Amino acid sequence: MTMKKAIVPVLFSLLFLAQAKAQAGKHGLEITHLTGNLYVYTTYNLYAGNPTPSNSMYLVTGEGVVLFDVPWDTAQRQPLLDSLYARHHQKPVLCIATHFHGDRTGALDFLKQHGVATWSSRLTYELCRQNHMQEAAHVFDKDTSFTVGGYTVQTFYPGEGHTKDNIVIWCAADQVLYGGCLIKSTEDKTLGFLGDANLAAWPQTMRRLMQEFPHPKYVIPGHDGWADNQSPAHTLKLLEQRGKKS
């Protein structure tokens, strides 16, 4: 009798997890051409019980593909590599993680196993280690430029916000700002997960970012849509509205 009572909760938990994975899995890997050789790829995972999109990017060069962050959905890691080769006849050679959360680092070990050079800031590396997250193999200590196949991308740390380590990536040739989770989509009505946020510093961080990159053609937030380039200003507005309420 006791054994049956113990088994029922376990079976229920397993069923719940299976259903949750199936619900997230209904949304597969989505790849959207942005501009030039830049693409946005989106995977889904459950957040607050709902399938939630996570945006990452990649750059195609003649010497391989550069990934900005990783698939959030672990089931889409291999499909991403397969899609890169099928579409572009290239393999990823470099990945830059923009902060320590799992939607940005959760596939770093997988990429390392496939020969991809994984990079993050030293602060991100340290936070990954402290929080038992997957770590990049290589670190940089300050804003850094990476050149692959004649194309240069630049990392920039504007300050604390969504996390204390969040960086952005600037693609000057195409005027594209990859903001990651520091930047909220104009579709968002809230600031999302704030468990590791610095709400006091975030507004000034956004002002510094907007001053550094005042006129991007495209801005890619970490989640939801990127239909316009006003998401930095929208993020600042959300922060200011929250500040007035508190």
Domains detected in the chain: 29-245 (3.60.15.10)
- Average confidence score pLDDT of the chain: 90
Question: Do residues 164 and 131 make contact, with C-beta atoms less than 8 angstroms apart?
Answer: no
Count other C-beta atoms under 10 Å from residue 14's C-beta: 10
Note the pLDDT tens digit of each residue in 71-120. 999 999 999 999 999 999 999 999 999 999 999 999 999 999 999 999 99
Per-residue pLDDT at 36 exceeds 50: yes
Residue 66 pLDDT more than 60? yes
Closest by Cα among 45, 75, 70, 44 to 57: 70
Name the more confident of 200 and 22: 200
Q: What is the pLDDT of residue 25?
A: 45
Q: Is the pLDDT of residue 5 over 70?
A: no
What's the CA gap between 165 and 98, in Å, rounded?
Answer: 8
List Cα–Cα distances, 209 to 88, 97, 235, in angstroms: 32, 18, 11
pLDDT of residue 16: 34
H-state helical runs in 55-196: 77-88, 102-105, 108-113, 122-130
Which pLDDT belongs to residue 26? 56
| 172-184: average pLDDT | 98
d(CA 200, CA 202): 6
Range with lowest mean pLDDT among 46-50, 63-67, 152-156: 46-50
pLDDT at 8: 36
